[in-house]
Amino acid sequence: MNMQTSDSIVIIPTYNERENIENIIRAVFALEHGFHILVIEDGSPDGTAAIVKDLQREFPHRLFMVERKGKLGLGTAYIAGFKWALQRDYQYIFEMDADFSHNPKDLPRLYRACTEEGADVAIGSRYVSGVNVVNWPMGRVLMSYFASKYVRFITGLPIHDTTAGFVCYRRKVLQTINLDGIRFKGYAFQIEMKFTAYKCGANVKEVPVIFINRELGTSKMNSSIFGEAVFGVIRLKWNSLFHKYPDLKTKDMKRTLIHNATIVNEGQSVQGSVVIENGRIAEVLTNWKPLSAPCEEVIDATGCYLLPGIIDDHVHFRDPGLTHKADILTESRAAAAGGVTSIMDMPNTNPLTVTLDALNAKLDLLNEKCIVNHSCYFGATNNNYTEFDKLDKHRVLRHQAVHGLQYR
């Protein structure tokens, strides 16, 4: 396989993993299959990000990193990684820890389970063939093992290792699941993802692996994470009784081609076609680029303009600092439900968006939480005019605030 292109990416969340990160990256890249790696780095104070950046110079086309501000949780790290991968052409998307508790040599086995054995989700399972855990304290072994038994009992999920974090998802599974609807951040995130995939009709296969406790660094497991799993499972099962899950097999069949339109987007017009798959844009075809797969429905858009949804240039998403009623995630979901696909957020949050630091912090929040296209206003005051020349005019809009009144 060409190492610069790959159908597979391994997502590795990190927080204080300087002892492990280089070794795990090199171990994955040493495999015959040309896996790519995406590191989701949560602001480790130990310099993990700097090590990854050095390695990116050695592996510029295979190693990628998303840096986030602060320890935001395992679940949100994987969701960010899933969305990043779905914006590219990866067909097989893996979860893996950085600490070698998941053996990189098992990655090809999970890959084959999906590519050759029909699995939609392949789980590196500690418990499908006994208890395959090495160097764990007995208390933690029992906690993990019986947690999975408990989950199976409450949910009816036919999986032995429900909390496993060594997983391969087919692209279509992550496209079908509403990733913004995944609630849990810690231990229970793994349960919720497997349960949701199963309820969507995914074929789940457990591949027996041996889990070896980390030798370097510090485990992130704690009692609060475990507690989220115990009590969250009951809520997960209860909510499922009133929720209709999308059908993976039905959605997988539908591809619609909007053919030969004038596509208008981001200040440009170009002749081309758009493929809609599972209700989402899957391909934008210009310059006579061919289809990657046939489409069941073709809409002739000759002579028509194809535009994005409504643009709302004045919204108050209340984030940061005023989120007791709503935040970027809930407000952007409401916007999308109403056909608004692009928003421009006003600067009167807490803190006000009147400094470059506040602006960058808000843009980071928007990038992380907003599900529609977005920009934001930069507030103009009597004291910050020297900042205007430093602004990227393609990313922000200027907004003037004088004596409590705001002008655009």
Domain contains 265: yes
Q: What's 67's domain CATH number?
A: 3.90.550.10
Same domain, 14 and 155: yes
Look up tokens 């061919």; give the residue: 290
Residue where a domain terminates, one of 215, 240, 265 = 240
Sign of the torsion formed by the C-alpha atoms of 319, 324, 326 and 327: positive
Collapsing DSSP to helix, strand or coil, 224 comes out as helix
Rg (CA), the chain: 23
Instruction: Name the residue among 323, 319, 324 with its Cα closest to residue 361.
Output: 319
Separation between Cα atoms, residue 135 and residue 28, nearest integer Å: 23
Q: What's 296's domain CATH number?
A: 2.30.40.10
pLDDT for residue 314? 92
pLDDT for residue 407? 34
Look up tokens 């007791």; give the residue: 324
Domain contains 1: no
Under a CB-based contact definition with an 8 Å cutoff, are residues 8 and 29 in contact? no
pLDDT for residue 52? 97
Same domain, 227 and 264: no
Domain contains 248: no
Residue where a domain terminates, one of 240, 270, 296 = 240
Collapsing DSSP to helix, strand or coil, 153 comes out as helix
Separation between Cα atoms, residue 388 and residue 22, nearest integer Å: 40
DSSP notation for 334-364 = HHHHTTEEEEEE-S-SSS-S-SHHHHHHHHH
91 residue type, one letter: Q
Same domain, 173 and 36: yes
Along the chain (408 residues), what's the average pLDDT of each consecutive run of 10 residues?
77 94 96 95 94 96 93 90 93 94 94 95 89 66 72 86 92 92 82 94 94 60 57 81 81 78 88 84 87 85 87 91 91 89 90 88 88 88 83 63 38
Same domain, 221 and 330: no
Under a CB-based contact definition with an 8 Å cutoff, are residues 236 and 191 in contact? yes
Under a CB-based contact definition with an 8 Å cutoff, are residues 195 and 155 in contact? yes
Domain contains 131: yes
Chain centroid to CA 41: 13
Same domain, 106 and 189: yes
pLDDT for residue 216? 57
Domain contains 245: no
Same domain, 201 and 336: no
Instruction: Kindly give, in sequence order, each residue whose CB lies less than 8 Å from that of residue 343, ignoring residues fewer than 6 positions away.
Output: 311, 312, 313, 315, 317, 332, 335, 370, 372, 373, 374, 375
Domain contains 246: no
Token readout for 346 is 């006003």
Same domain, 316 and 300: no
Token readout for 251 is 């959605």
Supply the range of the domain harboring residue 119. Answer: 8-240
Same domain, 32 and 116: yes
Same domain, 291 and 374: no
pLDDT for residue 406? 38
Separation between Cα atoms, residue 258 and residue 351, nearest integer Å: 44
Same domain, 231 and 367: no
Separation between Cα atoms, residue 227 and residue 223, nearest integer Å: 6
Structural domain count, the chain: 3
Same domain, 152 and 71: yes
Bridge partner residues of 280 (DSSP): 277
Sign of the torsion formed by the C-alpha atoms of 364, 365, 370 and 375: negative
Residue where a domain terminates, one of 306, 324, 343 = 306
Domain contains 3: no
Separation between Cα atoms, residue 372 and residue 4, nearest integer Å: 30
Domain contains 2: no
Same domain, 176 and 290: no
